[in-house]
Each structure stands twice: as structure tokens, then as C-alpha cells.
Amino acid sequence: MAKIPYAMAIGNWLPYSETFIYDQVKHARRYEPYVLARGLNPARENFPYDHVTSLGALERALYYAALPSGKFVRTIRESGAKFVHAHFGTNGALVAATANKADVPLVVTLHGVDVGILLNERIPVDYLFYKRTYKRMFETAQLLLPASQELADCLVQLGAPESKIQIHRLGVDTSAFTPFTRPERPAQFLMIGRQVEKKGFEYGIRAFAKIAGKHKESTLTLIGKGPLQEQLQSLAAELGVQDKVIFKGSVNAQLMPALLENYDVLVAPCIVAKNNDRDSGLIVLKEAGASAMASIGTFCGGLPEIIDDGRTGMLVGQRDTEKLAECMDALASDYSLRTRMGAAARAKIESDYDTVKQNERLEEIFDTILRGM
């Protein structure tokens, strides 16, 4: 049976931080995406896919002016795409004029920063186009798919029609992660993500420093890069744990399943940043759970939907280094506790966040679009 074509509007094809998009493409069953990319990322060779249309410099400039892209309209028409599905509100706002021009419905998945940034009084220059156009996106889109309940509430606050909002949580490829019973060893802590304010890595380092004297063979590893790296390295030195806080840099997403087996507890001390950016459905939390790893997170964004406090991991208040340190100490001190939590985390990810199941649910949402045409 032939698959149903649709257009998928994204930013660049494809950075490692957006591998969830590639998972969605790979696991499409009844629908076939034709990617509309603003540009191409140097990492794209790691994400091979035939149906990718990208814009040149001039075309991109016109697209940023919220004008319809002739190239994208042709792709939609030639592929027979039934609708456009945009990842991130920014791409939804940009592609809205193109969807109108091609006379196809628009669906937009919202992930976090694309909602939080609109709550600011002051908008960064590179988001001004979005501030001008997001309301048109709300009007044009048939469906808005926030990745968490908190984002859904924020959309309502911004004026999005509740009738258009349906929560859809992203999944991870559980088949790529082997549930791993870690050996009884000094706990090795891990934080993953861009070194930016919303990740709260400062608080993870401060909490770890409080327990480092007691757990002398434990370490805290940071994977990822970002503008705050030097600041975080200086903080580790200031707190006297520079030899136990390891900055590993970026890691190829394909290596993540094997890498996670070397660590025992994922720490995600996320916060709502000053610009209202926040994480919604944190992918690394789901990947850690898929590998049967216990996690510590915060009451922020979509994290409480992923971590069942006291069962699959632990939750603390944002910026609460004392409580965070207590949780790190508890898991470092109790091998059986972190093993039980890891097993429960794997079961939850299989049930609620498996990418195949979530993609099936997304395609059921797509079915509603077709029934309304």
C-alpha cells in the first residue's frame, strides 16, 4: 500500500540535537515525509534521506520575510503532500504562507523555546520575525501539538485556540538502547546537553561538590558544548572539584546507547531561563530511561511528566542545590535503589515514549487532518 505523502518543515537538515526528527522520518509507517529544510547542516551525512529540499541564500532571505517559498510549493505539489507538519513554532510561522499558497493544512509541533520566548517582553533580534508572525501561525494551523502540558498551558496564555491544541510527546528509539543492569560501583553521574542557562548545569556542579568528599570515587561528566562551558569549568575549579567534573564535549548521537552504560545516574537540573526558554520533553531523560538509568530532574517544563518522583527517579525544585545534593547522595549510597529506579524507568519509556508507538499516535493525528479535508 502506497504511503501518504506530507511535507515536514524544519530548520537545517540535520543537527545532532534534533535526532528525534530523524527518528520520526525513519519510523514513518503509513505516511511519507518530504522534508522542507531552510538549510543544510554539516552533520547531514549522518542522517541520510532522499526527500530533502533545501533553500539557497536568496530563497532563504525571502522565506525569512514570511513570503511563500516557490521551491517548497513545488515540492508540495509534485510530491502530492496532503499537509505540512512543521517542527518548532518558528518553522511553523515561516512555512504558514507556503502552506496557504499550496492550499494545504498546517500542523505545528512545539518543543519549548518556541513557546517560552514569546512570553518575554523583550525578544532577541533573531526571533523578531517570529514575534510578528506567530499569531498568523495560530490562525493558519489546524493543529498545534505541544510536547508537554506546560507548553499547552503557555499556548493558551499566548492566545492560541484551545480547540486546536493537542499534546503529543516525542519518543525515543527504545530498540537502540539495551536495558543495562549496571555493576555495583561508585556512582558515576552524567549531565547531557548544550551548556546554556536553561540546562541548569551550574546547579548540578554545585550539588555534586557538596557530596564529592563523601563519594570520593564518583565523578560528574558533562556531554555537550555551549557558551557557558568556560564559566562552568571555572565554577568546578572554584569549588575544588575540577578533577572530578569531566567535560567530554560533543558525542555522536549514534554512540549514545553504548556511552550511557558507563554511567549510573542522569542529572537534569533544568530551569526556566531568564528569556523563558525551558525544556519540554527532554530527549536525554528518555534515552537514559531507555537504558535503565535512574534520573534526577527538576519541576520544570515537561520533566515531571517523564520522571515519576520516587519510582523512576527523583524530582527537586529548580535551583535547589541542597535537595539536589541530597538526591545525588541517596542514589550514590544505595545501589539497589538506583537499580530499581532504572528498571522502572525503562518500563515507563517502553510504555509511554517508545518512538514507534509515538509515531503511530502521530499518524493517527494526521488521519484526523485527512478526514477534515
pLDDT digits (tens, 9 = 90+) for 160-218: 999 999 999 989 999 999 898 999 999 999 999 999 999 999 999 999 999 999 999 99
Mean of the per-residue pLDDT values of the chain: 94
What value does the mean pLDDT take over residues 302-307?
Answer: 94
Task: Report the pLDDT value the prediction gives residue 301, as an integer from 0 to 100.
Answer: 85
Same domain, 13 and 45: yes
Q: How far is CA 318 from the centre of its chain?
A: 19
Same domain, 158 and 249: no
Task: Report the pLDDT value the prediction gives residue 276, as an integer from 0 to 100.
Answer: 82
In 3D, which of 2, 327, 40 has the Cα closest to residue 189? 327
Cell matching residue 101: 499558497
Same domain, 148 and 258: no
Same domain, 53 and 29: yes
Q: Is 173 helix (H, G, I), strand (E, B) or coil?
A: coil
Spatial distance between the Cα atoms of 331 and 138, rounded to a whole number of angstroms: 44
Residue 372, amino acid:
G
Task: Report the pLDDT value the prediction gives residue 202, as an integer from 0 to 100.
Answer: 98
Task: Report the pLDDT value the prediction gives residue 270, as an integer from 0 to 100.
Answer: 96
Same domain, 220 and 244: yes
Spatial distance between the Cα atoms of 321 and 269, rounded to a whole number of angstroms: 9
Same domain, 70 and 113: yes
Other beta carbons within 10 angstroms of residue 317's beta carbon come to: 12
Cβ 33 vs Cβ 51: under 8 Å: yes
Task: Report the pLDDT value the prediction gives residue 310, as an integer from 0 to 100.
Answer: 97
Spatial distance between the Cα atoms of 260 and 349, rounded to a whole number of angstroms: 15
pTM listed for this prediction: 0.87
Phi, psi of 265 (to 5 degrees): -140, 125
Same domain, 39 and 179: no
Spatial distance between the Cα atoms of 4 and 81, rounded to a whole number of angstroms: 8
Name the domain count of the chain: 2
Same domain, 230 and 182: yes
Task: Report the pLDDT value the prediction gives residue 251, as an integer from 0 to 100.
Answer: 87
In 3D, which of 327, 330, 195, 340 has the Cα closest to residue 270? 195
Q: Percentage of residues in the chain with pLDDT exceeding 90? A: 83
Task: Report the pLDDT value the prediction gives residue 265, as an integer from 0 to 100.
Answer: 98
What value does the mean pLDDT take over residues 21-28?
Answer: 92
Lowest mean pLDDT among 6-10, 79-83, 126-130, 189-193: 126-130
Task: Report the pLDDT value the prediction gives residue 93, as an integer from 0 to 100.
Answer: 96
Task: Report the pLDDT value the prediction gives residue 6, as an integer from 0 to 100.
Answer: 98
| 264: CB partners within 8 A, 6+ apart | 182, 185, 187, 188, 189, 293, 294, 331, 338
Task: Report the pLDDT value the prediction gives residue 347, as an integer from 0 to 100.
Answer: 97
pLDDT band (50, 70, 90) for residue 113: confident
Task: Report the pLDDT value the prediction gives residue 244, as an integer from 0 to 100.
Answer: 98
Same domain, 98 and 186: no
Instruction: Give per-residue pLDDT as tens, 40-91.
Output: 999 899 899 999 999 999 999 999 988 999 999 999 999 999 999 999 999 9
Same domain, 97 and 115: yes
Residue with cell 554545585: 206
Same domain, 189 and 157: no
Q: Percentage of residues in the chain with pLDDT exceeding 70? A: 100
pLDDT band (50, 70, 90) for residue 323: very high
3 HSE (CA, 13 A, CB side):
15
Same domain, 309 and 367: no
CATH code of the domain in which 69 resides: 3.40.50.2000
| Owning domain of residue 69 | 4-171+355-371
Spatial distance between the Cα atoms of 318 and 301, rounded to a whole number of angstroms: 11
CA dihedral 67, 71, 74, 79 (to 10 degrees): -120
User: Which segments of 14-158 are extended strands (E)?
Assistant: 31-40, 52-54, 84-87, 106-110, 143-146
Task: Report the pLDDT value the prediction gives residue 203, as an integer from 0 to 100.
Answer: 98
Residue 346 has pLDDT above 90, yes or no: yes
pLDDT band (50, 70, 90) for residue 253: confident
